[in-house]
Amino acid sequence: MQATRILAIRHGETAWNVDTRIQGQLDIGLNDTGVWQAQRVGQALRDEDIHAIYSSDLGRAFQTAHAIAQADTRTQPVPLIPTAALRERHFGHLQGHTWAAIEADWPADAKLWRTRDPHWSPLGGESLLVLRERIARCVDALASQHLGEQIVLVAHGGVMDVLYRLATQQDIQAPRTWHLGNAAINRLLWTPQGLSLVGWGDVSHFERTSRDESSV
């Protein structure tokens, strides 16, 4: 069977994750916990047979990807490739605001967000449909180059959510019942027919629970 194994990793924790502040495509770096998480996931993956690491070019993801690349034990360095198509959903005018502020100042937007309206997009941002299409096309393009190999994708909570839904054929509006843990290890299999789920949300490489976040 022609297949590509994928290790999908959400970035480590940021101060804005802790504050429930929407990052979207703003470039926020890891906090101290996030740096530790990135190092731990790097150590967990250091003996994996990895042919390439593709990362969102936003700092929090690229820092995490760099830690994974640095921990690799092979003599020949694994290529680390910044990939803008793996960025988080663009949240437009809501970026930089906390969930509480959005509920108070933009209640109509907050309702559309909570109900996962697939066509709604924040002013200047992306809809869920646009996000899903972007991620699906990106993964197809990258995975098709690595048949018979394993790659790492380092990205964001919204991206991980799309990958899980594609792999399990969950509707875009289905309530989420799965975690999007910072620096958790998620395993997928890609074939020309699409994605399938191998394993999800592995945080056994941590000694304490990482922070989960619903949207960013």
Phi first, then psi: give them for residue 143, nearest 5 degrees: -65, -35
Active site residue 88: yes
- Give the residue carrying structure tokens 């990482």: 210
- Please tell me what DSSP assigns to residue 114: H
**Closest Cα partner for 175 from 114, 126, 131, 123?**
114
Whether the CB-CB separation of 28 and 53 falls below 8 Å is answered with no
| Three-state DSSP class for residue 209 | coil
3-state helix vs strand vs coil in the chain, percent to 5: 35, 20, 45
DSSP one-letter code for 213: -
Q: Which of 13, 88, 126, 213 is catalytic?
A: 88
How far apart are alpha carbons 150 and 48 in whole angstroms? 9
For 101-128, letters b (16+ CB in 10 Å) and e give ebeeebeebbebbeeebeebbbeebbbb
Active site residues: 11, 88
